[in-house]
Amino acid sequence: MVCFSAECSKKALGMESGSIADSQLLASSSFDAISVGPQNGRIRTEKASGAWCPKPQIREGSYEFLQVFSPTILLNICRTFST
């Protein structure tokens, strides 16, 4: 977590609840826009294929990302890795 203020908020941003709309999500790429597009990259949510999947196979030096557009500034940044 990266904070830009003295106190960090641990309030949910809306990826799990759906308060962040699918239209606010963008991915660098998607293997298939419908089944594994950015709208499927939500936390603890199983819809379509259950995850966002980038188009290229991830290798060292790959730079794939899931972006959330927000009308307000977000103060928390989270980076996770999975195998």
**pTM score above 0.95:** no
Flag whether pLDDT at 35 surpasses 80: yes
Mean pLDDT calculated for residue range 5-23: 77
Question: What are the φ/ψ torsions at residue 39 (nearest 5 degrees)?
Answer: -65, -15
Torsional sign, CA 21, 17, 81, 83: negative
With a pLDDT cut of 70, the percent of the chain lying above it is 75
Q: What is the pLDDT of residue 29?
A: 93
Please state, for a pLDDT cut of 90, what percent of the chain lies above it. Answer: 18
DSSP character for 33? H
Residue 25, beta-bridge partner list: 68
Torsional class of 16: left (φ above 0), alpha (ψ -120 to 50), beta (otherwise): alpha
Supply the pLDDT for residue 37.
Answer: 92
Q: What is the pLDDT of residue 73?
A: 62
- Residue 74 pLDDT > 60: no
